[in-house]
Amino acid sequence: MMNIVYQSTRGGESGVTSSQAILKGLACDGGLFMPNRIPKLDISMKELAGKTYQETAYEVMKLFLTDFTREELKACIDGAYDGKFDTEAIAPLAKADGAFYLELFHGSTIAFKDMALSILPYLMTTAARKNHLDKEIVILTATSGDTGKAAMAGFADVKGTRIIVFYPKNGVSRIQELQMVTQKGDNTGVVAIHGNFDDAQTGVKRIFADKELAREMEEKGFVFSSANSINIGRLVPQIVYYVYAYGQLLHSGEIADGEKINVTVPTGNFGNILAAYFAKEMGVPIGRLICASNDNKVLYDFFRTGVYDRKRDFLLTISPSMDILISSNLERLIYLSTGCDPERTAGLMADLAERGEYTVTEEMKERMADFLGGFATQEEDKAAIRQVYKDTGYVMDTHTGVASAVYQKYKKDTGDETKTVIASTASPYKFARSVMEAVGDSRLPEDEFAVIDLLNQVSAMKIPGAVEEVRTAPVRHDRECDAEGMKETVRDILGLNVI
Ligand SMILES: *Cc1c(COP(=O)(O)O)cnc(C)c1O
């Protein structure tokens, strides 16, 4: 098997092993780690069709994480994808209204972030052991609502790690907030920031790049890493479910061997849909990658015009986990579309930081032609949820609703009837109020849990354990800070101020 090594999209690091890239999270020049090539699957789709999720995970991940031994990787996979998921399939497909909903919300925090964040702690602690790391790993995470909880669920009380999560104070759903502030584990820290997700993510990136702080941390025996989708240890496990979905469709006879499928993904930070692109490049027969945005439609505009322009109002919507104007993982696609030119990539990212926009060339645009942008307003989102519910009884959450609406529009506009997998990224229970408004109930009780009980009456879905848990759990975190105060807050939580 050929070794894969990783390099920064901005050129500052190269020849980094997969375990080192996972430990670091972000490259030291602020770039993202990319494999030196995207490996091809060395097993046919037909053979994959009969495999379990765990077996599929091994077939995909072994090709990227080439410095992990077979035993190490299998132990990580078996530790992650177990009874924490409420279904043996881990990522089941539900057929509704002519599309296949790939349900990625059966993990412990009921959002798709569990797919990668249940394995990341295993990968990271294995990587620490392999690299003889003698420091405590401090995971710094910005969250638009789902990453933070999923990361804490994975890292809580994991020896040798601490985790600090920043979330936008008024930018998450009630259940998302409750999930975070009730988090157990002595090594967890939760901070509400007075700002939006972009402020949180930019602040975290700034802390990572702070050389002085890094020195201070080192002296005290700490080292930073990231659980955000900028970490290659997030991206690689996310490729698995697209490969698995194709195998399942083949296995059940819904598609013929080699038949192309389209994929529609509700997108924020561009991590999930980038994983689908990697699956395609590995050899999975995928046609179009339809990138669905909410009203924060930077990506829709980008794929249409070639101009990435974040200079616009940040809108709070009913799909808060997609309320993002700076989609970090797009940098990886930009890098690929330059023909892996770190200088040009760094130049464009500098434009974004300094001028709030950048423009790609026609040639680069052509290299991204597999992607198509679409967006849905909040009304269209709700209408899609309502329509699929009325027609089929299937209830989806507000993020999946965006993808569903965009898929319907795409089909109408193009007449393309290619079978389509829609990434279903959260349980409707996580956004119960908006979902209940969508299915047609306009007078809802004040109490969030009363709304959840109403949703339970209309949907065939059981109330997940993750929701029952926060019904009564005591609040354990109440820290808040301004975006400018993030660094001091981190120093305080880590006790760096104490002599
Ligand atoms: C994070 C998230 C998204 C966006 O995924 P990206 O990988 O950031 O594009 C969509 N839906 C839900 C429910 C999420 O939690």
In whole angstroms, what is the distance from residue 318 CA to residue 435 CA?
9
Amino acid letter at 21? A
Nearest residue (CA) to ligand 1, atom 2: 321
In whole angstroms, what is the distance from residue 406 CA to residue 416 CA?
13
Query: Which atom of ligand 1 is closest in space to residue 425's alpha carbon?
Result: 13
Instruction: Please choose from 425, 427, 435 the residue to mutate so as to test ligand 1's pocket, defined by most ligand atoms within 8 A of CB.
Output: 425
Instruction: Please choose from 113, 167, 321 the residue to mutate so as to test ligand 1's pocket, defined by most ligand atoms within 8 A of CB.
Output: 321
Query: Which atom of ligand 1 is closest in space to residue 266's alpha carbon?
Result: 10
In whole angstroms, what is the distance from residue 57 CA to residue 237 CA?
7
In whole angstroms, what is the distance from residue 466 CA to residue 321 CA?
18
What residues contact 495, with CB distance under 8 A and at least 6 apart? none
How high is the pLDDT of residue 315? 95
How high is the pLDDT of residue 318? 96
Tokens of 105: 């919300």
Phi, psi of 95 (to 5 degrees): -90, 125
Half-sphere exposure of 363 (CA within 13 A, CB side): 5
Phi, psi of 194 (to 5 degrees): -85, 80
In whole angstroms, what is the distance from residue 61 CA to residue 71 CA?
13
Tokens of 487: 């660094």
Which residues of the chain, if any, have pLDDT below 70? 1, 499
* 40 three-class SS: coil
Q: How far apart are the first and last CA of the chain?
A: 50
Nearest residue (CA) to ligand 1, atom 14: 321
Distance 332 CA to ligand 1 centre (A): 17
In whole angstroms, what is the distance from residue 308 CA to residue 302 CA?
5
What does DSSP assign to residue 16?
A: B
Residue 314 near residue 196, CB atoms below 8 Å: yes
85-120 per-residue burial string, b: 16 or more CB within 10 A, e: under 16: bbeeebbbbeebbebbbbbbbbbbbbbbbbbbbbbb
In whole angstroms, what is the distance from residue 411 CA to residue 408 CA?
5
In whole angstroms, what is the distance from residue 145 CA to residue 166 CA?
9
Residue 155 near residue 227, CB atoms below 8 Å: yes
How high is the pLDDT of residue 442? 72
Cross-strand bridge partners of residue 291: 265, 373
In whole angstroms, what is the distance from residue 381 CA to residue 245 CA?
24
In whole angstroms, what is the distance from residue 292 CA to residue 267 CA?
6
Tokens of 300: 């829709």
What does DSSP assign to residue 431?
A: G
Distance 272 CA to ligand 1 centre (A): 7
In whole angstroms, what is the distance from residue 57 CA to residue 241 CA?
8
Residue 149 near residue 180, CB atoms below 8 Å: yes
Amino acid letter at 40? K
How big is the chain, counted in residues? Answer: 499
Instruction: Please choose from 102, 117, 141, 146 the residue to mutate so as to test ligand 1's pocket, defined by most ligand atoms within 8 A of CB.
Output: 146
Distance 425 CA to ligand 1 centre (A): 7
The CA distances from residue 462 to 181, 437, 438, in Å, are 24, 19, 19
Instruction: Identify how many contiguous H helices and E strands the chain contains and give both numbers.
Output: 22, 15
Write the pLDDT tens digit of every residue in 21-75: 999 999 999 999 999 999 999 999 999 998 999 999 999 999 999 999 999 999 9
Q: Estimate to the nearest angstrom the gap between the alpha carbon of 238 and the chain centroid.
A: 8
Nearest to 433 by CA among 460, 416, 415, 454: 454
What residues contact 120, with CB distance under 8 A and at least 6 apart? 22, 151, 154, 227, 231, 233, 234, 237
Q: What is the C-alpha R_g of the chain? A: 21
Which residues form the pocket of ligand 1, taking CB atoms under 6 Å from any ligand atom?
111-113, 146, 229, 266-272, 321-322, 399, 425-426
Q: What is the 3-state secondary structure (H, E, C) of 294-363?
A: CCCCHHHHHHHHCEEECCCCCCCCCCHHHCCCCCCCHHHHHHHHCCCCHHHHHHHHHHHHHHCEEECCHH
In whole angstroms, what is the distance from residue 239 CA to residue 235 CA?
7
How high is the pLDDT of residue 52? 98
What does DSSP assign to residue 41?
A: P
Query: Which atom of ligand 1 is closest in space to residue 272's alpha carbon?
Result: 7
